[in-house]
């Protein structure tokens, strides 16, 4: 950590301690153990699955990405970091923990995994042990008590200034890579070639990215989580949808852009969805129900569909009859932070006893909480031409609500999605993604 980021870490950790104190106070536990996690192996193989630290661990120690590390905390005491620094000639030895952030911990190094148990408290009767099951040691088994997790997850929606710095940095990294990907599309490269350009510009590998890149040319943009990257260059580059992020100290960026190869109806659709997205972003204000933004997105989508002669009915009817769900079948977004789809999106309070229901008929919305200052959410409206959903609409009672000739024209383009990461403030929202694109011009 450098500069301002380093100075913010102490405040960030103090907030994690306050949240931990609160979680322990509201439960029957008096100490907290958090495991970074352990290696998992592929079935019938000695090849390990790529390791990613437990996000609960990373919220305390974002610079540590080694497996089999532990944080031990008892309220009123300095937290301990047990740092597993295994040394063997098969792998690179983890570097020494260093930097100002380590001043906030008592750091103990363990050279072998079997030595870790002796460094943990002997009596764990009243310890909340957080982590994946593979992190278990002799007599130390993650119990992941729901009362503790509920408090930590609920409050994680509010980002500290340290976390906001990491999210801004992740967005700048992603924006640079998005610029390179657009240039590759304009140059006529394949999905695979565009993906490689993205990785090079981001300076991150596939394994470092917070999620697998969606690099979709033409009709592939109609697959919401398109997971392939064709090596072959298509005969024609009509459209390009890229949903791709970046990582910075474990914090994720999640950005989507859509591009047309030339002027015309699809280019008009991209511009219209962008306008809807920016209007929705302006509605990301403290006190707003996030579900209302989702419902407003359907109204905006309905207006675009009618304006571009994709539907033939009034926008109000398109929403009321569910026609918009054919063209916009996912939620408007989610919380983002240490995880792309961050936790506790439906939690009504810190105890986790109740959840906030999704609007009827909208099963894919990932967040229903009322927005508070320093939440960071995504806003990602889209309009798609998905054959299986269109077939259902064509066979149903509202088939006459659609101009099928216009749909046929747009089918080869797949669809449009525009997505930004947005921070809730006490005034105008902070668009982390748009600011990042402006910074990397």
pLDDT tens column, 200-257? 999 999 999 999 999 999 999 999 999 999 999 999 999 999 999 999 999 999 999 9
Largest CA distance in the chain: 72
pLDDT tens digit sequence for 354-407? 999 999 999 999 999 999 999 999 999 999 999 999 999 999 999 999 999 999
Looking at residue 160, its pLDDT comes to 98
State whether 65 and 145 are in the same domain.
Answer: yes
- E-only strand ranges, 24-162: 31-35, 70-73, 80-84, 106-110, 127-130
Average pLDDT over residues 81-92: 90
Q: Buried (b) or exposed (e) across 346-358, using 16+ Cβ within 10 A?
A: bbbebebeeebeb
Task: Examine the domain organization and report whether 289 and 384 are in the same domain.
Answer: yes
Between 374 and 99, residue with greater pLDDT: 374
Its sign, for the CA torsion 246, 251, 253, 254, is positive
Q: What angle, rounded to 10 degrees, do the helices at 432-439 and 161-186 form?
A: 60
How many CA atoms are closer than 13 Å to the CA of 344, on its beta-carbon side? 25
Model confidence at 331: pLDDT above 90: yes
Say how many residues make up the chain. Answer: 441
- Given a contact cutoff of 8 angstroms between Cβ atoms, the answer to whether 83 and 67 are in contact is no
Select from 103, 130, 155 the last residue of a domain: 155
Q: Using the 8-state DSSP alphabet, how is residue 396 labeled?
A: S
User: Pairing state of beta strands 31-35 and 70-73?
Assistant: antiparallel
| DSSP H helical ranges for 262-382 | 265-282, 290-307, 315-320, 323-327
Contacts with 282 (C-beta within 8 Å, 6 or more apart), sequence order: 428, 429
CATH number of the domain within which 380 lies: 3.90.230.10
**Containing domain of residue 76, as a range?**
3-155
Given a cut of 60, whether residue 4 has pLDDT beyond it is no
Residue that is last in its domain, among 155, 173, 196: 155
pLDDT in tens, 30-55: 999 999 999 999 999 999 999 999 99
165 and 198: one domain?
Answer: yes
Q: Are residues 131 and 201 in the same domain?
A: no
Domain boundary among 128, 155, 182: 155
User: Do 13 and 5 contact (CB within 8 A), yes or no?
Assistant: no
Over residues 190-202, the pLDDT tens digits come to: 999 999 999 999 9
**Cα separation, 68 vs 39, whole angstroms:** 8
- Do 182 and 149 fall within a single domain? no
169 and 78 in a common domain: no
Confidence at residue 3, expressed as pLDDT on a 0 to 100 scale: 42
Residue 221 has φ and ψ, to the nearest 5°, of -65, -10
The pLDDT tens digits for 298-317 are 999 999 999 999 999 999 99
pLDDT of amino acid 116: 96
| Same-domain status, 46 and 175 | no
* DSSP H/E element including 169: helix 161-186
Residue with more model confidence, 7 or 143: 143
CA dihedral (257, 261, 267, 269) in degrees, to 10, reads -50
Q: What pLDDT shows up at residue 6?
A: 67
Give per-residue pLDDT as tens, 247-289. Answer: 999 999 999 999 999 999 999 999 999 999 999 999 999 999 9
Residue 391 exposed, middle or buried by CB count within 10 Å (0-12, 13-18, 19+)? exposed
Q: How far apart are CA 120 and CA 72, in angstroms?
A: 8
Instruction: Kindly state whether residues 75 and 210 are assigned to the same domain.
Output: no
In the prediction, which pLDDT does 92 show? 87
Regarding whether 198 and 83 lie in a shared domain, the answer is: no
Question: For the purposes of burial, counting CB atoms within 10 Å of the CB of 156, is it exposed (0-12), middle (13-18) or buried (19 or more)?
Answer: buried
Q: Whole-angstrom Cα distance, residue 187 to residue 185?
A: 5
CATH of the domain at 26: 3.40.350.10
Bridge partner residues of 300 (DSSP): none
Task: pLDDT band for 87, please (50, 70, 90 cuts).
Answer: confident
Strands 80-84 and 106-110, bridge-based pairing: parallel
| pLDDT confidence tier of residue 77, bands split at 50, 70 and 90 | very high
My answer on whether 146 and 45 are in the same domain is yes
Tokens for 432? 């982390």
Same domain? For 267 and 413 the reply is: yes
pLDDT confidence of residue 441: 79
Whether 125 and 186 share a structural domain = no
Q: Averaged over 123-130, what is the pLDDT? A: 96
Helix ranges, 157-250 (H): 161-186, 191-202
Per the structure, the count of domains in the chain is 2
């Amino acid at each position: 950590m450098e500069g301002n980021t380093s100075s913010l870490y102490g405040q960030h950790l103090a907030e994690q301690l306050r949240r931990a104190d609160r979680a322990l106070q509201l439960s029957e536990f008096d100490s907290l153990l958090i495991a970074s996690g352990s290696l998992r192996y592929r079935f019938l193989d000695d090849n390990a699955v790529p390791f990613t630290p437990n996000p609960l661990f990373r919220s305390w120690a974002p610079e540590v990405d080694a497996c089999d590390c532990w944080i031990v905390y008892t309220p009123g005491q300095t937290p301990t970091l047990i740092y597993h620094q295994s040394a063997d000639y098969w792998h690179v030895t983890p570097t020494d923990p260093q930097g100002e952030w380590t001043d906030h911990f008592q750091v103990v190094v363990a050279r072998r995994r079997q030595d870790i148990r002796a460094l943990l408290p002997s009596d764990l009767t009243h310890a909340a042990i957080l982590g994946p099951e593979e992190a278990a040691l002799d007599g130390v088994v993650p119990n992941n008590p729901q009362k503790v997790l509920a408090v930590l997850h609920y409050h994680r929606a509010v980002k500290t200034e340290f976390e906001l710095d990491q999210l801004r940095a992740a967005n700048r990294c992603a924006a640079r890579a998005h610029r390179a990907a657009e240039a590759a599309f304009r140059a006529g490269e394949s999905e695979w070639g565009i993906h490689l350009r993205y990785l090079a510009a981001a300076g991150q590998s596939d394994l470092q990215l917070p999620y697998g890149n969606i690099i979709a040319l033409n009709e592939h943009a109609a697959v919401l989580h398109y997971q392939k990257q064709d090596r072959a260059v298509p005969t024609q580059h009509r459209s390009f949808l890229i949903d791709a992020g970046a990582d910075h100290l474990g914090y994720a960026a999640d950005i989507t852009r859509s591009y047309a190869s030339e002027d015309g109806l699809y280019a008009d659709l991209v511009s219209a969805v962008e306008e809807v997205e920016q209007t929705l972003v302006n509605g990301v204000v403290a006190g707003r129900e996030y579900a209302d933004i989702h419902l407003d997105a359907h109204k905006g989508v309905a207006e675009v569909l009618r304006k571009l002669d994709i539907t033939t009915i009034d926008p109000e009817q398109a929403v009321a009859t569910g026609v918009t769900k054919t063209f916009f079948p996912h939620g408007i977004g989610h919380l983002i932070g240490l995880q792309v789809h961050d936790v506790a999106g439906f939690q009504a309070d810190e105890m986790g006893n109740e959840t906030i229901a999704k609007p009827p008929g909208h099963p894919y919305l990932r967040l229903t909480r009322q927005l508070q200052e320093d939440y960071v959410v995504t806003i990602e409206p889209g309009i798609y031409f998905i054959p299986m959903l269109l077939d259902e609409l064509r066979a149903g009672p509202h088939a006459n609500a659609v101009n099928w000739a216009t749909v046929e024209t747009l089918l080869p383009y797949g669809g449009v999605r525009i997505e930004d990461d947005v921070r809730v403030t006490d005034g105008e929202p902070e668009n982390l993604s748009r600011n990042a694109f402006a910074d990397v011009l």
